[in-house]
């Protein structure tokens, strides 16, 4: 596909790298010559210097022939106007990053009038991700599939789970009380593994499991994980993410204390969030955090604009025994360090945004293929992907037992949803037309279900 990215910042550059790796034709537009030079040096992508709303620039960048135009500059207004101009020039599909809460109120109208096919609000998406994590505080991340019927969570194997040393194929024979979930992926010593039946769980493994919502809840109850309810939350930093998140958490019945250092921003938040406790102060001041109730908090979430500040404050909260700590970190080179430091719940705005856009691009790329990607969740820094598909009517893999199909060696058919019923499949189960199928794949670039399964 021919893809034009307007905005060569962190998100644009990261997204371009992913799309180039998936062999799309990528062109990047930006006014910053240094940023474009970096992309030319690192990525196999074309670059055009200029204004993303300029007709001349967009024509030079190939907007009239683009399959997808993605506008991710720092300005919502430029992103929306870029989408309108590109669409008028002939671009087939437009994606715009729109972040301001004021625009969200009238977003359907703006999308219709400005010819925006898909709008993404990364801060709101991030807030949704954090709110899901707080529902399962023992988990590092939570993702939903099949219109909310299926959840995928990760957790660390501990001595108290009763899972360490157990071979997966023997698990449900040894523990007949356990509700059946699928062990989808394992991270061990920073290595990604798609486990088979002979895989033996070990203490400190980071394990990803998937199942129907009620089943997965019962599973964690059975192993003693799902016992803490989050009631009191402290948030560091009054960003847009914090605004969206605080609203969500209060609606969920939680008490929220938000610490913001800027007096003007603190005043704005106090007016916009009357049900929250807004504290004016430096979130890196440990005495302030203790004075505002850090030791009584069930969760501490760092959302400041500085990664180092987030990490240090998060570590301080972990040291003082806060049960759930979530840290925002946008630096990829810190990713492996986080887990080693005891920070299992790390959120990354850049990854959330680029992964959402990448999913939209893959779906668009399969517009003519009924078994294209419906939903995508990237795990372990993109080393493993969970993908949701709808089985095609005329596919050659339907009606055949899974044990008789050829499944990619680095892939696993995790869950089948048929007529609203969720099933963890066994070898004798089949895929049928219109099934929602969730597969786990090591690596990336899968565009359709028949890239993973087929006749032997």
Whether 220 shows a pLDDT value over 60: the answer reads yes
Residue range 256-277: mean pLDDT, rounded: 96
pTM of structure: 0.75
Q: What is the per-residue burial (b if ≥16 Cβ within 10 Å, else e) of 7-32?
A: bbebbbbbbbbbbbebebbbbbbbee
Question: pLDDT per residue over 175-215, tens digit each?
Answer: 888 898 999 999 998 899 999 889 999 999 999 999 888 89
Q: Which residues contact 361 (CB under 8 A, 6 or more apart)?
A: 1, 3, 19, 24, 68, 70, 95
pLDDT at residue number 368: 45
Question: What architecture is domain 2-120?
Answer: 3-Layer(aba) Sandwich (3.40)
pLDDT at residue number 430: 93
pLDDT at residue number 371: 53
Instruction: Work out the pLDDT band at 335, boundaries 50, 70, 90.
Output: low
Least confident of 106-120, 310-324, 353-367: 353-367
Among 73-87, 91-105, 426-440, the range with the most confident prediction by mean pLDDT is 73-87
Residue range 381-397: mean pLDDT, rounded: 86
pLDDT at residue number 365: 59
Whether 377 shows a pLDDT value over 90: the answer reads no
**What residue spans in the chain does CATH classification 3.30.70.1450 cover?**
136-222, 369-455
| Percentage above 70 pLDDT, the chain | 96
Instruction: Work out the pLDDT band at 338, boundaries 50, 70, 90.
Output: confident
The fold of 136-222 is Alpha-Beta Plaits (3.30.70)
In angstroms, rounded to a whole number, what is the distance separating the alpha carbons of residues 298 and 249?
13
Q: Does domain 232-347 have CATH number 3.40.50.10490?
A: no
Residue range 123-148: mean pLDDT, rounded: 84
Question: pLDDT per residue over 11-57, tens digit each?
Answer: 999 899 989 988 889 999 999 999 999 999 888 889 999 999 999 99
**What residue spans in the chain does CATH classification 3.40.50.720 cover?**
2-120, 232-347
Which CATH homologous superfamily contains domain 369-455?
Answer: Regulator of K+ conductance, C-terminal domain (3.30.70.1450)
């Amino acid at each position: 596909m021919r893809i034009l990215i307007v905005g060569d910042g962190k998100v644009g550059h990261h997204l371009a790298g992913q799309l180039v790796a998936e062999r799309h034709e990528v062109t990047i537009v930006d006014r910053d010559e240094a940023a474009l030079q970096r992309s030319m040096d690192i990525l196999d992508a074309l670059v055009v210097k200029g204004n993303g709303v300029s007709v001349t620039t967009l024509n030079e960048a190939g907007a009239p022939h683009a399959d997808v135009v993605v506008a991710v500059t720092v300005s919502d207004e430029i992103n929306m106007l870029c989408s309108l101009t590109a669409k008028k020039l002939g671009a087939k599909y437009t994606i715009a990053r729109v972040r301001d809460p004021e625009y969200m109120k009238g977003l359907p109208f703006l999308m219709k009038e400005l010819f925006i096919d898909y709008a993404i609000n990364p801060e709101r998406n991030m807030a949704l991700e954090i709110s899901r994590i707080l529902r399962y505080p023992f988990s590092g991340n939570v993702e939903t599939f099949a219109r909310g019927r299926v959840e995928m969570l990760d957790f660390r194997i501990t001595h108290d789970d009763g899972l360490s040393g157990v071979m997966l194929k023997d698990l449900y024979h040894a523990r007949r009380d356990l509700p059946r979930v699928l062990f989808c992926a394992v991270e061990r010593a920073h290595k990604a593994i798609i486990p088979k039946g002979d895989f033996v769980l070990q203490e400190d493994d980071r394990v990803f499991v998937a199942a129907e919502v009620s089943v997965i809840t019962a599973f964690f109850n059975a192993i003693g994980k799902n016992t803490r309810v989050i009631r009191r939350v402290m948030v560091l930093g009054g960003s847009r993410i914090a605004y969206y998140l605080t609203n969500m958490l209060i609606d969920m019945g939680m008490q929220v204390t938000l610490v913001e250092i800027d007096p003007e921003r603190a005043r704005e938040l106090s007016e916009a969030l009357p049900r929250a406790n807004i504290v004016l102060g430096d979130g890196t001041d440990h005495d302030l955090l203790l004075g505002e109730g850090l030791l009584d908090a069930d969760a501490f979430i760092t959302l400041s604009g500085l990664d180092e500040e987030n990490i240090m404050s998060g570590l301080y909260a972990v040291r003082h025994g806060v049960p759930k700590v979530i840290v925002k970190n946008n630096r990829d080179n810190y990713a492996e360090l986080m887990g080693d430091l005891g920070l299992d719940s790390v959120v990354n705005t850049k990854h959330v945004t680029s992964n959402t856009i990448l999913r939209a691009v893959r779906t668009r790329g399969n517009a003519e293929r009924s078994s294209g990607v419906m939903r995508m969740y990237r795990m372990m820094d993109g080393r493993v992907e969970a993908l949701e598909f709808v089985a095609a009517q005329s596919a050659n893999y339907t009606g055949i037992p899974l044990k008789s199909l050829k499944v990619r060696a680095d892939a696993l058919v995790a869950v089948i949803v048929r007529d609203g019923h969720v099933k963890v499949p066994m070898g004798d189960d089949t895929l049928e037309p219109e099934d929602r199928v969730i597969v786990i794949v090591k690596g990336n670039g899968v565009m359709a279900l028949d890239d993973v399964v087929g006749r032997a």
